Amino acid sequence: MKYEPRIKAKKVFDLDLKDKKILKCLEENSRQSHNQIAKKAGLSKESVRYRIKQLEEKGIIQNYKVVVDIKKLDYRAYHLFVNLNKPDLEIEKEYLKKLISYPFVRAVIKFSGGYDFEIAMVAKNIDELERNLTQLFNGVDKYIKENELLIVVRTFVGRVFPKSFLEFEIEKKKKKIKEIKVDDKDIKILNVLKEDAVMPIYKIAEKTKLGVDSVTYRMKKLEDGEIIRNYIPAINYRAVGYQVYAILLRINSLYEDVEAKLKRYLIQDPNVLWAVKTIGNYNVMIYLAVDKPEDLHDTLNKIRRTFANRIKGYKTLIAYEEYKYTYFPELFLGE
């Protein structure tokens, strides 16, 4: 599968309220019909269809992703931050090519700041993690100045857009989560959706060599079991005037009450995209999307004031370019 850089943008587009409402509806579920979006956004079906096409042609929406809960497939998420020893561009290019090719790697993001790259990966256990790390460092360890491995424990916040983008909430129905078993046919469907999360059912059936009814049933089963958490648009944030930052926090005594307080704060913060609790030298990882640099400082300063006696260190990273991002790595391919 080919991955294209996603964060960089040559042009910034102004979005009106109608575009933003459509994007928020797509964040809720990118597979819903144009008619469903039209009702929620207060627009005509034709307007929705036209505007989505424009957002895609401008490169604001770059593709659509299926969000998969890998924990329910017995995998854990790890994030490795790497600082390079200033290699030349050719060495960096070869290193990136290797990183992208590894099936256990979910994401590769280039930063400026405390670390040069973030490598998100998955593993089932500590032995598999060790093998993966050996592959990552093999032949390039002499170019790595330092690295930091964080284990993702749980998610505090997960959004496509920060709350500052648009206060347009869509009521979500609560559903009972079912316990399900996943087989090779389910994996085939997930693998197809990974490449195009809004692919029509009949095309998924063609690619997986399953019947249309079978695909429909299995997708519903995966959704009910929350193996499939959502279908979302992949957004070029720079194209809409936003810069993405990562903050790594080390908070002392992050016990249950403090964690609950932190989670409440992060949910309400207007700039937070994604935030998780981690195990490692840093125990909180936060992604922000801001359209003004002062918003970054505002969020960071509020966190520092709110948890003043507990914060023992932090790093701020500026996302420069995204080379790979998938919620469903190649290692999940069915037979």
pLDDT tens figures, 288-325 = 999 998 999 999 999 999 998 899 999 999 999 999 99
The whole-model pTM stands at 0.91
Q: Look at residue 333 in the predicted model and tell me its pLDDT.
A: 65
**Domain ranges across the chain:** 178-225
- Check residues 261 and 95 and name the one with the higher pLDDT: 261
Residues 6+ apart with CB under 8 A from 125: none
Burial degree of 17 (CB within 10 A; 0-12, 13-18, 19+): exposed
Ranking 42-56, 88-102, 197-211 by mean pLDDT, the lowest is 88-102
Could you tell me which of 37, 66, 56, 36 has the C-alpha nearest to residue 232? Answer: 66
- For the chain, what is the mean pLDDT? 91
Burial track 292-314 (b if 16+ CB lie within 10 A, e otherwise): eeebbeebbeebeeebeebbeeb
Enter the tokens of residue 136.
């990552």
Tokens of 62: 């770059």
DSSP alpha helix (H) spans, the chain: 17-28, 34-41, 45-57, 89-101, 126-137, 184-195, 201-208, 212-224, 256-268, 293-306
Task: Name the percent of the chain lying above pLDDT 90.
Answer: 77
Residues 99/323, Cβ–Cβ less than 8 Å: yes
Distance CA 182, CA 194 (A): 16
Which CATH code is given to the segment(s) 178-225? 1.10.10.10
Return the number of other C-beta atoms located less than 10 Å from residue 202's C-beta: 10
126: which 2 tokens? 């500590």
Chain centroid, CA 23 distance in Å? 16
Radius of gyration, CA atoms only, the chain: 20
Q: What mean pLDDT comes out for the span 92-106?
A: 89
Q: Does residue 226 carry a pLDDT above 60?
A: yes
- Is the pLDDT at 3 greater than 50? The verdict is no
Token pair 């095309």: residue: 203
Helix, coil or strand: residue 156: strand
High-pLDDT (> 70) share of the chain, %: 94
Residues 127, 119: contact at Cβ < 8 Å? no
* Joined tokens for residue 31: 């597979």
Parallel, antiparallel, or unpaired for β 284-290 and 243-251? antiparallel
Looking at residue 166, the DSSP 8-state letter turns out to be -
